[in-house]
Chain A
């Protein structure tokens, strides 16, 4: 099994951290992983994306041309990556800020409203974890338990009290995806 994933959105939405948590969680399951950011003079409001590959085998290129799954969090990212999804692949997008919805007929498309759900939960920073929860519902790459382990590994200890709120956001994401 090899899953090539692109996560793309605005800087500040937690794109890179979502990828990092996913990669660490997969590591906890003994998988091979790679996390390759499009780094740059990133700032809140700019664009950010990261390629995460999870595999049972050694990963060759951390940079790929097409993706099994795309997580799209803004309009420019949708325009950039919709055509790079493999036929039969998966596209999950947050409806907020998408004016022209995806057009492809040969992929599985899921719309979620994570931005609204995060606001309703009173946890706007939980946005990326809601999206991650949605991903794991449709592509069960790792278990929630291992995501929590991954969080413990990536978050500095002073933030560990936020783990329950993150778990709630994950489960919310699993719930709201159609």
Chain B
């Protein structure tokens, strides 16, 4: 099935309570598949086409605020519209899932694939000092697997989680094993897991307030320090990445999502020519595998960051490498997806191979 379809099926299977979204290419199959599957008749999951992306994200804010597992999905310009809501969720520590199946930008841009929202996703995107936890799937299987994982992490840390996909992974059809069914949490389970949530005040518990507003500077500073402490914990515990053929590698390609798949093909061709290239694929883009890249940089003659954009993740790679080895970037924009051959040629050119 398509990556987008896998997201929808995985949502139904992982006990998701609600989906709120507005159609946009190249991710409309998510809402379409949910409409075909009619989960409201089986698991009781709510599926609603909202009037806009701004409405969708605020529905997530409300649903997450009451402790429900709720999600939205969109593509780049739609996710840009959601940034205010995402910042509010981060400030109020509301868990939730946002799926971005990226297309080319800026602005309305193109409907073809891109990874141009890396900055937006990993730098927060809205106002204030915050991060969202960003997972980058590179296959239809990971589109399915990351839905439940995102919810687990979002609730564990009370943070919005994002699946940063793109038009390639959303549209491609591959083999997938869907996760087993997990029931939606009961009201009692939500009360136990989310004592902070606005679940209706029964039994005289203190009032829970969901807000990102705090006018007393000292209290706001305390809140910010608490957020920073949480982000530090996430950096220490939740970094995920995959390595391919790095042990004997002299050169390293760093690539995420669909670009990592193209890089794999390029690497197998380069290895046939005797050029020892490996791949590091960040799975979490925030938190970023800074430490691992720093370790590897000591053994490499050079590194190439391959992204379908003008060079965004390359900044994080350079911050990790701290000049220990040359770092170059290759990418294309405008919805053009580079081919393995183009990547091979660039890597050879960059390092005079």
Hey, which bits of chain A sit against chain B, CB under 8 A? 20, 23, 27, 32-37, 39-41, 59-66
Contacts and interface: CB of A to CB of B under 8 A. Distances in A.
Contacts of B265: 60-61, 64
A63 B111 contact: no
Interface string B321-352: 00000000000000001011110000000000
Interface in B111-168: 111-112, 167-168
Interface secondary structure of B, over-half rule: helix
Nearest to A63: B337
Contacts of B174: 33-35, 59, 62
B171 interface: yes
Given A36-B173, A60-B268, A62-B261, 11 more contacts: A32-B175, A34-B172, A36-B168, A39-B26, A39-B111, A60-B261, A61-B340, A62-B174, A63-B337, A65-B339, A65-B342
Contact of B173 (A34, A40, A63, A64): A34
Nearest to A40: B111
A63 B172 CA distance: 10
A51 to B, nearest CB: 9
21 contacts: A23-B173, A27-B175, A32-B175, A33-B174, A36-B171, A37-B171, A39-B25, A39-B26, A39-B171, A40-B112, A59-B174, A60-B261, A61-B262, A62-B172, A62-B261, A63-B168, A63-B261, A64-B339, A65-B340, A65-B341, A65-B342
A41 B111 contact: yes
Contacts of A32: 175
A66 B167 CA distance: 21
A2 B171 CA distance: 21
B176 to A, nearest CB: 11
B72 interface: no
